Chain A
Amino acid sequence: MTLDVRRLRGEFPLFAGATEPLHYLDNAATAQIHRSALDAVIRHETTARANVQRGTYPLATAASAAYEAARADVARFFNAFSPQEVVFTSGATEAINLVAHAFGATLRAGDEVMITAAEHHSNFVPWQQLRDRAGIVLKVLPVTEEGRIDVAALERCVTARCRLIAVTHVSNVTGAVTDVAVIVAAARAVGARVLLDGAQAVQHGLVDVQSLGVDFYAFSGHKCFGPGGVGVLWGRADVLAAMPPFMAGGGMVGQVTESATAFAEAPRRFEAGTPPIAQAVGLAAALRWMGGLDWGAIRERESRLAGRLLDGLATFPDAAIVGPEALNQRLPIVAFTLQGLHPHDVAQVLGDRGVAVRGGHHCAQPLMAALGIDGATRASIALYNDESDVDALLEGIGAARRILR
Chain B
Amino acid sequence: MSDDLYQQVIKTLAQADHGGGRLEQPDGAARLDNSLCGDRVTMEVRVGDGRVIALAHQTRGCLLCRASASLIGLRASGLAREELVRAAADVESLIAAAGTVPPEWPELESFLPARNYPSRHGCVLL
Residues of A within 8 A of B (CB): 342-345, 348-349, 351-352, 359-361, 365, 368, 374-375, 403-405
Contacts and interface: CB of A to CB of B under 8 A. Distances in A.
B38 A403 contact: no
B120 interface: yes
For the complex of A and B, list the 10 residue pairs with the smallest distance between their C-beta atoms, beginning with the closest. A342-B62, A344-B62, A361-B38, A352-B2, A360-B37, A349-B2, A345-B62, A348-B2, A352-B1, A345-B63
Interface string B1-17: 11101100001000000
Given A342-B61, A342-B63, A344-B62, A375 B38 contact: yes
A365 B63 contact: no
B3 A360 contact: no
B105 interface: no
Given A342-B62, A352-B2, A374-B60, A360 B38 contact: yes
Interface of B: 1-3, 5-6, 11, 36-39, 60-64, 117, 120, 123
Contacts of B60: 374
28 contacts: A342-B61, A342-B63, A343-B37, A344-B37, A344-B123, A345-B6, A345-B63, A345-B64, A348-B5, A348-B117, A348-B120, A349-B2, A351-B2, A352-B1, A352-B2, A360-B37, A361-B37, A361-B38, A365-B38, A368-B38, A374-B38, A374-B60, A375-B37, A403-B2, A403-B3, A403-B6, A404-B63, A405-B11
B37 to A, nearest CB: 4
A404 B36 contact: no
A154 B5 CA distance: 48
Nearest to B3: A403
A10 B123 CA distance: 37
Nearest to B66: A342
A361 B34 CA distance: 11
